[in-house]
């Protein structure tokens, strides 16, 4: 098995809670650098969709879902940021972003994502996504667990009220519901037993509360430049 450090060549991680702007920053930064990119939150959503498609219950998931993931039931095209379910006799089925972010999948994902065996299988999947010339990954434990030797780790934060406003504007979620959901999801992820959401000790902290998407991108691009990762 290839050692972990051989994967950790040119990786930038963008971690943080809900509505911090990390996924948008990942897409823009990966394109600017000419690197590959992945939103690891969608990895877990795709795994939840696999479980739903194959009627694997949370109780069965530690064995059945973990085994299916290890068999290659989930794949990812980095060029188009598209996930695929690979099921025997059915071929590859693309998962559109609209399906990954649907309310049903959003509700089911936390149930599966907190199962240690599922997280272990998906950690190997995520590490296997590295391709030259580099990888930009966003999520909640990229810098601490998945890619601990990343060359640059960035932790994005946002005020809970602003996070709720962003979800209200971007997804049409009622503000009051969005505010409660943001706080509860972040609380659960900070306190989960496996791979809790936390900033890496060597991460650069960026508060995006008063920053536009353009300004967040400018900050992460400048941090990359300082590391010698871009001209």
Which CATH number goes with the domain that contains 202? 3.40.50.300
Instruction: Tell me if 229 is assigned to some domain.
Output: no
In a domain, 30, yes or no: yes
119 inside domain: yes
**Are 53 and 107 in a shared domain?**
yes
Q: Is the peptide bond before 26 cis (omega within 30 degrees of 0)?
A: no
Give yes or no: residues 146 and 190 share one domain.
yes
Tell whether 231 is covered by a domain. no
Do residues 144 and 190 share a domain?
Answer: yes
Residue 204 has what pLDDT? 98
pLDDT digits (tens, 9 = 90+) for 19-72: 999 999 999 999 999 999 999 999 999 999 999 999 999 999 999 999 999 999
Query: What's the confidence (pLDDT) of residue 4?
Result: 45
Give the chain's domain count.
2
Do 115 and 171 sit in the same domain of this protein? no
User: Within this chain, do residues 107 and 28 fall inside the same structural domain, yes or no?
Assistant: no
Of 131, 148, 165, which marks where a domain is finished? 131
84-133 pLDDT, tens digit per residue, is 999 988 889 999 999 998 889 988 998 999 899 999 999 999 999 999 99
């Amino acid at each position: 098995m290839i050692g972990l450090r051989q994967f950790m060549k040119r990786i930038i991680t963008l971690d943080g809670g809900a509505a911090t702007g990390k996924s948008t920053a990942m897409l823009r930064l990966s394109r600017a650098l000419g690197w590959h990119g992945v939103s690891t939150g969608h990895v877990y959503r795709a795994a939840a969709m696999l479980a739903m498609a194959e009627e694997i219950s949370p109780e069965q998931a530690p064995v059945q879902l973990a085994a299916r993931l290890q068999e290659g039931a989930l794949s990812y095209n980095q060029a188009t940021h598209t996930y695929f379910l690979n099921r025997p006799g059915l071929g590859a089925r693309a998962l559109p972003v609209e399906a990954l972010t649907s309310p049903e999948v959003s509700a089911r994902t936390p149930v599966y994502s907190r199962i240690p065996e599922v997280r272990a299988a998906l950690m190997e999947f995520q590490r296997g996504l590295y391709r030259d010339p580099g990888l930009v990954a966003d999520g909640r434990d990229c810098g601490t667990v998945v890619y601990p030797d990343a060359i640059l780790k960035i932790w994005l934060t946002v005020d809970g009220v602003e996070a709720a406003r962003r979800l209200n504007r971007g997804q049409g979620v009622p503000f009051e519901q969005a505010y409660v959901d943001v706080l509860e999801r972040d609380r659960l992820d900070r306190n989960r037993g496996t791979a809790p959401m936390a900033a890496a000790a060597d991460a650069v902290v960026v508060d995006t509360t008063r920053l536009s998407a353009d300004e967040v991108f400018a900050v992460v691009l400048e941090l990359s430049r300082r590391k010698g990762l871009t001209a």
